Structure 1
Amino acid sequence: MNINNTDIELELWDTAGQEDYDRLRHLSYADAQAVIICFGIDSPDSLENVAEKWAPEVSLYAPGVPVVLAALKHDLRANEATIRELEKDGQRPTTPEMGEAMCRNIQAQKYIECSAKTVFRVREVFDATAKLAFAMQKKNDSKSCCIIL
């Protein structure tokens, strides 16, 4: 990837969210220069987990590291089957306003909605995160690659 005419290497770590990995996951934060916290637009509970689990964990194990909040499955927000399924539990897909509010709440640097299925704004998630990581790297000026969780 090239940022500001400089080739950079990205390392991406997809950490497990299952409780079985809670005691080990903190090890993956070492040397991170940016973090992407993701939630599913079709899962209001996953948005709640951003504030209750992920943001506090990032603050604890990677303090000061820039955060991108990514809302996944943008294509499902208007999907009738998804809406019906959520309505059974008295829920609805998350809105852009809910995501923006969470971004402010956790003090993330950027909020982006995307869809891997339709390839909507996927590249933007990684470009924005890489730019934040690159800025962190230049600030620290001690690493040869950017590590993104």
Structure 2
Amino acid sequence: MTAIIRKKLVVVGDGACGKTSLLIVFSKDQFSETYVPTVFDSFVSDIEVDGKEIELTLWDTAGQEDYDRLRTLSYPDTNVILMCFSIDSPDSLANIREKWIGEISHFCPGVPIILVGLKKDLRNDADLSQILQLLESGGKTLLRPT
């Protein structure tokens, strides 16, 4: 019998960018139209990768500044970071570079980061144009610490 592999995934990003909805849809296959700000929450999802069972603990964090100091308590023993922004909010993408890269580089050095754009259903062409400009101006350096 193969032992279950346990991995911790922490989701960060600005408040209201869609982090909680992403995790609820992934772990419970449900979507809520109601926004309730998260302080901390976690979900467990069992998945299979390459024939191996993985117990994935998904940590949902608060993006609001009021919780900056508290949020860091979720970082120890993290295996991967999902760094999220809202496609309908260019500011949330700008904050990836201005806030989130530095915080994660400090508290989770060497941990893999996956950049995730959320709320694609709410985007408009002007938002998308701004986001593409930000991505192009940052190029490959977007995810490098400043």
Both proteins in one fold, TM over 0.5? yes
- Measured after TM superposition, the shift of residue 55 of structure 1 is 0.9
Equivalent position to 1:4, from 36, 50, 57? 50
The within-5 A match list for 1:1-149 is 1-78=47-124, 83=126, 92-93=127-128, 94-96=130-132, 98-99=134-135, 104=140, 105-107=142-144
SS of equivalent residue, structure 2 residue 106: helix
Mark the runs of 5 or more structure 2 residues left unpaired by the alignment: 1-46
- Measured after TM superposition, the shift of residue 95 of structure 1 is 3.8
- Measured after TM superposition, the shift of residue 99 of structure 1 is 4.1
Between the aligned residues of both structures, percent identity stands at 49
- Measured after TM superposition, the shift of residue 63 of structure 1 is 0.4
Tell me if structure 1 keeps the 8 A contact 2:88–2:124: no
More strand by share: 2
Distance 1:95 1:18 in 2: 21
TM superposition score normalised by structure 1: 0.57
- Measured after TM superposition, the shift of residue 97 of structure 1 is 6.3
What's the CA shift string for 1:50-104, capped at 9, x where partnerless?
001111111000000000000111122337xxx5xxxxxxxx3344564476573
Count of equivalent residues: 97
Of structures 1 and 2, the one scoring higher in RCO (CA 8 A, sep 6+) is: 1
Distance 1:30 1:12 in 2: 13
Distance 1:9 1:103 in 2: 34
More helix by share: 1
Distance 1:19 1:58 in 2: 15
With over 3 angstroms needed to count, the CA separation of the structure-2 counterparts of 1:2 and 1:72, relative to structure 1, is same
With over 3 angstroms needed to count, the CA separation of the structure-2 counterparts of 1:103 and 1:11, relative to structure 1, is farther
Distance 1:43 1:75 in 2: 12
With over 3 angstroms needed to count, the CA separation of the structure-2 counterparts of 1:100 and 1:2, relative to structure 1, is farther
TM superposition score normalised by structure 2: 0.58
- Measured after TM superposition, the shift of residue 12 of structure 1 is 0.8
Tell me if structure 1 keeps the 8 A contact 2:83–2:96: yes
SS of equivalent residue, structure 2 residue 83: strand
With over 3 angstroms needed to count, the CA separation of the structure-2 counterparts of 1:47 and 1:73, relative to structure 1, is same
